[in-house]
Amino acid sequence: MRKLVVHEVLADAAYQYTNGHIVSGNHQFTYPEIFVRCLKLAHRMIDLGIRPGTVVGVMDINSHRYFELKYAVSMTGAIIHTINFRLPATDLGYTIRHAHDEWLFAWTGFGELAKSMAALVPNVVWLGDLEGNSGLQYEDLVAEGSPFLPDQASKVNEDDTYSLFYTTGTTGRPKGIRYTHRQMLMASLQIAHDLGLHDTGAFLRADDVLMPLIPFFHIHGWGVPFIAPYLGSSLVLPEKSSPAEQWQLIRQNKVTWSNMVPTQLYTLLEEQTQENVELRGLKVLTGGSALPLGLAENASKANISLSLIYGGSDQLGTAISEASGLDGVERLVRLSSRMTPFPMVRVEIRDEKEQCVVSDGKTIGEVWVQSPWIPQGYLDETEQTQRAFHDGWFRSGDLAVRYPDGSFYVMDRLNDAIKSGGEWIAGSVIESIISEIPGVHAVAVVARPDPQWGERPIAFVTAENDVSSQVVEQYLYQAVVEGRLTKFWVPNEIQFIDIMPITSAGKLNKVALRQKKLT
């Protein structure tokens, strides 16, 4: 690889690997074939006036088109804005305007939403047929281009901005973060190295078949579009598919590795059949929110092995759970909760005075991260940047404890944690214990104001009809007797709801739950 720029990864795969392939809908391409498509697309983009620094918005599902655009944009020196189509329309439009998108590549399957966003951008290319639309068509650009590396591609440098994406906006307006080619690739490939070198449940090999369920708008699907060609692995892109259809893709394409947030894992397990249960060797990298032990146990029963990753839009990958030398329940607990930082990544747990706390597995503090790929801050957000970024460190807003071996356990978001009587209560710990109860489907614990203690925890639960508040409380008090839970952490109330509110990133929407009226 001549330079650590994104399109060099695919150029190398096209030269080195002829067996790996990309499956997307009815399409299947080898790496050499898809590289040629990217070359042709890049040429046409340059012909249309896309230049270094041009912001190109992409609004698509996980498809071969999106994969190609990641590399074609790199060849032009432009900046790819991966648009989160799950944001509310007002926030979605805000990100397009805030990023100053000059071009929008939009999938026609989004219908009126795509049309309304297209009205905000001067230039639009449609991904797919749109009845009554006479604009530029994606496949026409690919067909018309030249199958040679554009001259502009050789001028792209490692420290040029490659990517722009936005936080999910659960605590205010979405915030834009820019990453260079070097930062994006270092973080992504570090994930591959860590998974391949350590004893993780989502152990990754070059002969694995990868199917990312994390949307490409979310940190580039956790780097999988770069990891797969780097390894020469086959890549299955699920496009718009239901959990039942995802199981079918897993069977048909012999998928061995996937990534998803815990809520996606839950819905996938809900769709399992006996045929799916008998699958062997499916490995899943999960993260984005706490992984309840009950969900991890259900996945294990379905022959799915797990690892937990920690990171986020504003820090990329930081740590992955490992379980060297452990077996059984002890191994499962470790893989579902405790994470070890990547090499070259420094994680500190600090108190309110910004001093490191004792590494005793008990003292709670805030996670601070330092790595080679930490960005400079948020786009055009001076105040937010000063609050979160300090001398090369990122202040995460996550509460955690650190253990003597250097691993750490993220217990809650600072904004989601409960401070009762001056003491922290980690809702994720309570959630994990409640998730173990048979018949419980999902659980979220949030803070509610309390005149005596300041705040007290309230648990929201979706479950089978035979699970009552008495059943939950008895289970929690048994956990107190076993020493797994502190007595004053037991929630004041248990509320049963039919459906959990979900954010655009697939996480439990605790902001909505805090605002929900109690019954």
Q: Are residues 452 and 352 in the same domain?
A: no
In contact, 237 and 224? CB cutoff 8 Å: no
Q: What would the two tokens of residue 249 be?
A: 């893709």
38 within some domain:
yes
The first and second tokens of residue 138, run together, are 């994606």
Residues 330, 331, 336, 338: is their CA dihedral positive or negative? positive
Instruction: Please state the length of the chain.
Output: 519
Q: Is 30 exposed, middle or buried (0-12, 13-18, 19+ CB in 10 A)?
A: middle
Residue-level pLDDT at 276: 59
Do 15 and 74 fall into the same domain? yes
The CATH number of the domain holding residue 505 is 3.30.300.30
Let me know whether 362 and 476 are in one domain: no
pLDDT reported for residue 245: 94
Helix (H, G, I), strand (E, B) or coil at 167: coil
> Distance between CA 395 and CA 411 in Å, rounded?
15
Provide the β-strand partners of residue 259. 212, 285
Residues 479 and 365 in one domain: no
Choosing from 389, 410, 431, the residue where a domain stops is 410
Tokens of residue 506, six digits: 């697939």
Whole-angstrom CA distances from 436 to 33, 271, 415, 432, 462 are 48, 19, 25, 7, 13
Whether residue 1 is contained in a domain is answered as no
Q: How many CB atoms lie within 10 A of CB 324?
A: 10
Do 251 and 293 reside in the same domain of the chain?
Answer: yes
| Tokens standing for residue 112 | 């009126």
> What pLDDT was estimated at residue 318?
96
Kindly state the tokens that stand for 56: 């190109």
Q: How many domains does the chain have?
A: 2
- DSSP 8-state symbol, 342: P
**For residue 120, what is the domain's CATH number?**
3.40.50.12780
Task: Please tell me the predicted confidence (pLDDT) of residue 7.
Answer: 98
Question: At 142, is the secondary structure helix, strand, or coil?
Answer: helix
Is residue 193 within 8 A of residue 204, CB to CB? The reply is no
pLDDT of residue 279: 58
Enclosing domain of residue 432: 416-515
Q: Does 420 share its domain with 406?
A: no
Query: What DSSP element (H or E) covers 53?
Result: none
Give me the residues of the chain with pLDDT under 50, please. Answer: none
